[in-house]
Amino acid sequence: MVAGEAALAVSLADSLFLSISPDAARSQVLLFLAISLAPFAVLAPLIGPFIDRLPGGRRLTVSGVGALRALILLGMMRYLDSLALFPLAFASLVLAKVYVVSRSAIVPTVVDGDEELVSANGKLGRLGGVVGFLAGGPAALLQLIDSRWSLGLSALCFALAATAALALPKKVAAAAQPASNEELRELHQPEVRWAAFSMLVLRASVGFVFFHLAFWFRDQKAGTAWFGLAVAVLSISIFLANSIGPLLRRRMSERTILDASLVVVSVTALIAGFFGGVTWGIVIVGVVNAMAATGKLAFESIVQVSAPDANRARAFTRFETRNQLAWVAAGLLAVIISPSDQVGFMLVGMATGLAAAYYLYSS
């Protein structure tokens, strides 16, 4: 899935952002993001619990997402130069977010304990970083030949992912009974709520920076190349964060890691906002994604410690759904206001700085 995402990102950077006028691109992406919000409005309260309780439900969901995305990309290859590209791209993004939520529900069901959960998520993050980086290079080379070739690579990756997902165990992700009062109480403790808020801000920052740079790079010389480099840096930063995160967790508290993640993003974004430029744009992509990955490990630990009676799959599905909504909403904001590079970086710096201050004040 990660390899397919990387190849698709490189393909759409040229097709959606660089090959049409700025106003057309902005309106299409606004629709793109707005439509993607709709499934998440019903995913958690309606669709999510139903799939959770089906034996193999999440496994079949992941496999189905891979298969559908492969078919959609074949359609995108055919209609690359027509308006039909955009509804296909909309559908692909919606399925991508469904996969992320489903993955968050599956991981707790395939490990034996809390420590293994953190380790498994760290390994998934490192693997995703490596695969994303390795797939981005070939996709960029194929993109130079023809965008259809990089889309074909993405389709192949998703088809392979659909097949591999069938090997996942047939487990029920969530408990059949509704959440108990104790589970709800634990998940609404101040420590968990503040940590969830910090994670929400970090993920929103990731979404804002991604779409902010996607539109800003289109006005720069060699915009597609810069965007491809940003995708590569993003992948490397996630790999490094998931490698270093477990070590940090042994030396400082999870709360400290989350607050430090917000502070690092804030300081880096404010510096980037002062200087501006493509180089700082690449730097902020790496820092924001690295801190979000590090914060995710700390957040998961806080939930495990503070809510021992909560159903892990159900809890993480709920939180991940909110985080995905924040990612999309922040992306919408970036497209709507379309700030300059420096103003966009400053906004990220101020938002994360305020969140860090609130987190410290609440302790």
105, 168 in Cβ contact below 8 A? no
Query: Which residue has 């992406």 as its token pair?
Result: 29
Domain count, the chain: 1
Highest mean pLDDT pick, 123-132, 153-162, 259-268, 292-301:
259-268
State the Rg of the chain over Cα.
Answer: 20
User: Measuring CA to CA, how many Å separate 320 from each of 210, 300, 301?
Assistant: 18, 11, 15
- Residue 18 above 80 pLDDT? no
pLDDT at 15 over 60: no
218: containing domain: 2-171+179-362
The rounded distance, in Å, linking the Cα atoms of 133 and 12 is 17
**Greatest mean pLDDT range, 12-26, 151-165, 190-204, 298-312:** 190-204
CATH number at residue 94: 1.20.1250.20
What is residue 250's three-state secondary structure?
helix
| Average pLDDT value for the chain | 75
Better-predicted residue by pLDDT, 99 or 313: 99
Q: Say whether pLDDT at 351 is over 90.
A: yes
DSSP code for 222: T
SS3 annotation, 50-108: HHHCCCCHHHHHHHHHHHHHHHHHHHHHHCCCCCCHHHHHHHHHHHHHHHHHHHHHHHH
Q: For the segment 209-256, what is each residue's pLDDT rounded down to a tens digit?
A: 988 887 787 766 656 677 777 777 887 888 788 778 777 777 888 888
